[in-house]
Amino acid sequence: MSTKFVLSSFEINEIENQKKYYENYRAITIEALKIVQKQRGWVSDQAVIEISKILNISPSDIESVATFYSQIYRQPVGRNIIRYCDSVVCYLTGYQEITKVLENILSIKTGDTTLDNRFTLLPVCCLGNCDKSPTIMINEDLYSKLTPESIPNLLDSYK
């Protein structure tokens, strides 16, 4: 017998609180997804359904927003999210070598999470740091002008 999924009272209150700022509840969708993700680390299918009930929007509409934004995680992720920039500028400055080193050290491919749930490796189209590329972001920390040799020490600092 499975247990029924419910959002926490904190999540429900936070989403309900957002309603007073908007006439059209569709405008709250991304904020509601962020509220749930902040509490749980990702947004499950059941959470999408529960958000849809609170906002009176179809689950497919919530899902379309959740899958459009790469910063909304639709599956569990590691404690540390590594986002590497795969823009044209980072391509020209060698992001592929950085990605290759990350994949080799972590023994994962892009989109995967390490077995110990320590890291998830994801691409992002731009980190807005083109003049200092190649660039990666680990959680909220931005790292620029990376070299393949700098990656092991950088990862060690996220144990």
pLDDT in tens, 38-81: 999 999 999 999 999 999 999 999 999 999 988 899 999 999 99
Q: Measure the CA dihedral 150/154/156/157, to 10°.
A: 150
φ, ψ (nearest 5 deg) of residue 121: -110, 120
Closest CA to 12 of 34, 31, 36, 40: 36
Write down the pLDDT at residue 1.
Answer: 61
Write down the pLDDT at residue 71.
Answer: 87
What's the whole-model pTM score?
Answer: 0.79
Report the binding-site residues for [2Fe-2S] cluster. 85, 90, 126, 130
Position 111, amino acid: G
Query: What Cα–Cα distance (Å) separates residue 21 from each residue in 24, 27, 39, 49?
Result: 9, 9, 22, 22
Start and end residues for every CATH 3.40.30.10 domain found in the chain: 80-157
Return the CATH number of 80-157, one of 1.10.3720.10, 3.40.30.10, 3.90.1150.150, 2.60.120.260: 3.40.30.10
Positions of the chain with pLDDT under 70: 1-2
Write down the pLDDT at residue 150.
Answer: 95
Write down the pLDDT at residue 3.
Answer: 80
Report the binding-site residues. 85, 90, 126, 130
Return the CATH number of 9-68, one of 1.10.10, 1.20.120, 1.10.357, 3.90.79: 1.10.10
